[in-house]
DNA sequence: GTCTCTGCAAAGTATTTGCACGTGC
DNA sequence: GCACGTGCAAATACTTTGCAGAGAC
């Protein structure tokens, strides 16, 4: 039993979700990934270890996890939903050329979000800061 | 000729886009709307005045306008893309119950975004801050 | 006159649904 | 044992494409 397996198990238990093989596999995959995979990519990535896992299970599991706040869904504008493991507040930067996504940590995020939460009369549950631009490689390609 | 018509015309000219009846209609609709309509909603809204406008024209025009920075596309998580006229930086708050969207202005946004731009090595072209939560009405319904 | 835009229908793609079976607790 | 989760296939919904004709400049 790996550590990440135990971690995944603990998270599921904590949320009162049944710890099935598939859910643990999906959660482990997302915890170890630094990428921001799509439902399809996760499905394909699990195909080797779990050849029988179905698309609907992956979709169902990902949306369940998102509801529970275990994952953050992220829409980058290319029509597919990407997922990342829910971390401390951070900024996602999306490259408009290669669709790559990176995370930026900033000390300014938390105080900023607190300000905004004070300024809206709504009850805020979740937040997302997204930048669009050009990554190193694509910037270089565009300006030779 | 209404003022908003002239405004729309000026924007199209400025971007070097041909000023067709359909484009002016779509742009006017989005400039006067305080809402954040979907492509379908825009198509339906224009049906009375322009019964022959087609879905593909609306989609094509909206994505063209987004490319040019005239509009901001906004994905709220319900699977459809919404559009708003490109304003000064602001925060979008999305109600997870009724899918309503509101805008929040905050003096803290611009300085915050400047900080983040300094903290990433990427070339930032555009930014979006999105909060998810409960609007007044839905909050009241949830906590009677 | 030229080139871009429009409209139609048809295709493509991500995601959801219904339902029978299987599995964790 | 019972509820919840899974897998399959088919359906749905949003968006895109190809192409002929029309309209802006």
Within an 8 Å CB–CB cutoff, is residue B133 touching chain A? yes
Q: Nearest residue to C7, CA vs C1'? A: B54
Q: Give tens-digit pLDDT for B93-113.
A: 999 888 889 999 999 999 999
How many Å apart are CA A102 and CA A130, to the nearest integer?
10
Residues lower than pLDDT 50 in chain B: 1
Q: Quote the pTM value.
A: 0.90
- Distance, CA of B132 to chain centre: 17
pLDDT at position B110 is 93
Q: What is the average pLDDT value for chain B, to the nearest integer?
A: 90
pLDDT at position A78 is 86
Positions of chain D reached by protein Cβ under 7 A = 4-10, 13-18, 23-25
> Domains in chain B, start-ordered, CATH in brackets?
1-87 (1.10.10.10), 88-144 (3.30.1490.190)
Residue of B nearest to A129 (CA): B129
pLDDT at position B2 is 56
Residues lower than pLDDT 70 in chain A: 1-4, 143-144
How many Å apart are CA A30 and CA A28, to the nearest integer?
5
HEC-encoded secondary structure of chain A: CCHHHHHHHHHHHHHCCCCCHHHHHHHHHHHHCCCCCEHHHHHHHHCCCCCCCCHHHHHHHHHHHHHCCCEEEEECCCCCEEEEECCCCCEEEEECCCCCEEEECCCCHHHHHHHHHHHCCCEEEEEEEEEEEECHHHHHHHCC
DSSP string across B43-88:
HHHHTTT-TT--HHHHHHHHHHHHHTTSEEEEE-SSS-EEEEE--S
pLDDT at position B122 is 93
pLDDT at position A143 is 63
Within an 8 Å CB–CB cutoff, is residue B115 touching chain A? yes
pLDDT at position A4 is 64
């Amino acid at each position: 039993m790996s550590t990440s397996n135990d971690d995944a198990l603990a998270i599921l238990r904590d949320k009162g979700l049944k710890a099935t093989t598939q859910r643990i596999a999906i959660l482990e995959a997302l915890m170890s990934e630094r990428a921001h995979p799509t439902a399809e990519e996760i499905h394909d990535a699990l195909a080797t270890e779990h050849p029988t896992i179905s698309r609907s299970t992956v979709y169902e599991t990902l949306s369940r996890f998102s509801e529970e706040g275990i994952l953050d869904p992220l829409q980058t504008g290319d029509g597919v939903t990407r997922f990342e493991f829910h971390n401390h507040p951070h900024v996602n930067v999306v490259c408009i050329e290669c669709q790559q996504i990176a995370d930026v940590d900033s000390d300014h995020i938390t105080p900023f979000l607190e300000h905004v939460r004070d300024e809206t009369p709504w009850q805020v549950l979740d937040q997302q800061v997204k930048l669009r631009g050009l990554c190193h490689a694509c910037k270089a390609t565009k300006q030779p």
